[in-house]
């Protein structure tokens, strides 16, 4: 009986030991942060020391990288290194660039007057420039192979070197360029324009784009280059587009010296895609315009070309919002398709006599200030007879109010509140 009791105690102690062991943390951990950035654009990663045992007197390490993916720019001491000696910089810090990476060696105090207690410390900030194409991923890791003599990756505690746990970082090379499908809105039956905009840090020689839409809601009317893309030597839609597909290819210059390019810049419109909203579409409805892996036959995919480099830029989908708004002409208060003195008089009768009730009050809000008052007929009279400014859009042709939501609508549409 006693023997069974002792065996039970032993099993319990073994279980407790296992649990405690599983919860034990590494005394010292060196880690590199992750980062992402575009080709040719500087980025930074940080070196951290997690000390779970304290008494750190110094450290040394090497950081290796792939020279075909990253170019080392430099490194600066982190906040912990600059305050390690009781709030002052460490007595000795040396950072060197070597083939394949960089090294760092630090002694906090030559006379052991200061150590780092337990905590998390930022030791170094390292800068790189990605030189590989977008889509490349690379590891940046601690190593003990750099320098002459070789710099080993260690943490110094009580005068002895300890090998810390080492956690590598990952750098993803991403495109610094954006391609954005915009948004448009309108009621069923209206044709709307959707912009496609480009943000690029480099001039662009050519671009091809592929996206899709819901043919039950939208019908493609036209696809046209705009802005600087109007100067393209070549623009075409691919053959074999299926219903619900949009694609185009654009080359800015096809003759030497090939110096005609889309300029670098932010949010430059390069395309206007026009869609007719199905007359039977039920508002409210959001119909997505989404980039696709490819469209057409043979397949065409989205690609950005600059010189000998091509890449997939960051893609942002768009949409067409189907809304219950009615088109109108601003200033056409009497709804006779003409803006003249009669509209000003109609407005006055509505405001002060109460015998006229316009079907589209938004058209009577001539100055588009979201109020119906005497300023509106005055705006019409001023435009007609005194050389005043014309009414804001939609004018002189019918369209959707570009400033919806003020509670003044037409024919009981969604903006009538």
Q: How confident is the model at residue 8 (pLDDT cuts 50, 70, 90)?
A: low
Task: Evaluate if residue 251 carries a pLDDT over 90.
Answer: yes
* DSSP state for residue 408 in the 8-state scheme: -
Task: Evaluate if residue 378 carries a pLDDT over 80.
Answer: yes
Q: How confident is the model at residue 6 (pLDDT cuts 50, 70, 90)?
A: very low
Which of these, 378, 341, 351, 320, lies nearest to 192 by C-alpha position?
320
pLDDT digits (tens, 9 = 90+) for 153-208: 999 999 999 999 999 999 999 888 999 999 998 888 889 999 999 999 889 999 99
Beta strands 183-186 and 318-322, pairing class: parallel
Q: Establish whether the linkage from the previous residue to 31 is cis, with ω within 30° of 0.
A: no
State the Cα angle at 87 between 84 and 89, rounded to 5°: 55
What CA–CA distance (Å, rounded) separates 94 from 171? 25
Q: Any idea which of 101-110, 133-142, 338-347, 406-415 has the lowest mean pLDDT?
A: 406-415
What CA–CA distance (Å, rounded) separates 288 from 275? 12
CB count, 10 Å around CB of 393?
Answer: 15
What CA–CA distance (Å, rounded) separates 249 from 41? 28
The residue-averaged pLDDT of 130-146 equals: 92
What CA–CA distance (Å, rounded) separates 293 from 303? 10
**Are 147 and 96 contacting, i.e. CB atoms less than 8 angstroms apart?**
yes
Q: Any idea which of 313-322, 323-332, 388-397, 400-409 has the lowest mean pLDDT?
A: 400-409
Residue predicted with more confidence, 38 or 168: 168
Is pTM, for the whole model, over 0.85? Answer: no
Beta strands 35-37 and 101-107, pairing class: unpaired
CB count, 10 Å around CB of 112?
Answer: 12
Task: Evaluate if residue 20 carries a pLDDT over 90.
Answer: no
The pLDDT value recorded for residue 410 is 86
CB count, 10 Å around CB of 7?
Answer: 10
pLDDT digits (tens, 9 = 90+) for 272-330: 999 999 999 988 899 999 999 999 989 999 999 998 888 889 999 999 999 888 889 99
Beta strands 178-181 and 234-236, pairing class: unpaired
In 182-327 the beta strands, taken as DSSP E runs, fall at: 183-186, 191-200, 206-212, 218-225, 234-236, 245-251, 265-277, 285-291, 303-306, 309-311, 314-316, 318-322
The residue-averaged pLDDT of 352-366 equals: 92
Q: How confident is the model at residue 23 (pLDDT cuts 50, 70, 90)?
A: low
State the Cα angle at 345 between 339 and 346, rounded to 5°: 80
The pLDDT value recorded for residue 237 is 93
């Amino acid at each position: 009986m006693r023997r069974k009791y002792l065996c039970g105690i032993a099993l319990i102690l073994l279980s407790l030991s296992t649990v405690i062991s599983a919860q034990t943390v590494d005394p010292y951990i060196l880690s590199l942060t992750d980062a992402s950035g575009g080709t040719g654009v500087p980025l930074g990663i940080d070196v951290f020391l997690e000390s779970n045992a304290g008494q750190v007197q110094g450290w040394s390490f090497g950081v290796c990288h792939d020279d075909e993916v990253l170019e080392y720019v430099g490194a600066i001491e982190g906040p912990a290194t600059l305050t390690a000696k009781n709030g002052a910089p460490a007595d000795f810090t040396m950072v060197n660039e070597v083939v394949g990476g960089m090294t760092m060696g630090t002694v906090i105090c030559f006379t052991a007057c200061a150590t780092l207690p337990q905590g998390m410390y930022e030791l170094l900030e390292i800068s790189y420039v990605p030189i590989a194409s977008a889509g490349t991923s690379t590891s940046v890791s601690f190593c003990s192979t750099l320098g002459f003599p070789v710099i080993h990756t260690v943490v110094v505690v009580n005068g002895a070197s300890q090998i810390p746990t080492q956690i590598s970082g990952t750098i993803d090379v991403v495109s610094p360029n954006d391609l954005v499908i915009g948004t448009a809105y309108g009621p069923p039956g209206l044709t709307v324009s959707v912009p496609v905009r480009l943000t690029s840090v480099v001039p662009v020689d050519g671009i091809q784009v592929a996206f899709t839409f819901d043919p039950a809601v939208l019908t493609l009317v036209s696809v046209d280059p705009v802005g600087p893309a109007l100067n393209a030597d070549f623009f075409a839609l691919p053959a074999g587009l299926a219903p619900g597909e949009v694609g185009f290819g654009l080359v800015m210059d096809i003759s030497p010296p090939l110096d005609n390019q889309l300029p670098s810049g932010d949010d430059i419109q390069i395309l206007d895609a026009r869609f007719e909203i199905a007359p039977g579409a039920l508002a409210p409805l959001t119909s997505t315009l989404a980039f696709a892996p490819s469209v057409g036959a043979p397949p065409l995919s989205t690609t950005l070309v600059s010189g000998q480099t091509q890449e997939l830029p960051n893609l942002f989908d768009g949409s067409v919002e189907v809304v219950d708004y009615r088109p109108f002409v601003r200033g056409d208060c009497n709804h006779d398709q003409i803006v003249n003195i009669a509209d000003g008089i109609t407005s006055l009768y509505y405001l002060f006599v109460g015998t006229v009730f316009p079907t589209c009050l938004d058209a009577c809000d001539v100055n588009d200030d979201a109020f119906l008052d005497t300023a509106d007929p005055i705006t019409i009279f001023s435009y007609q007879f005194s050389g005043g400014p014309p009414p804001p859009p939609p004018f002189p042709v019918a369209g959707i109010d570009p400033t919806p939501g003020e509670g003044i609508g037409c024919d009981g549409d969604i903006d009538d509140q």
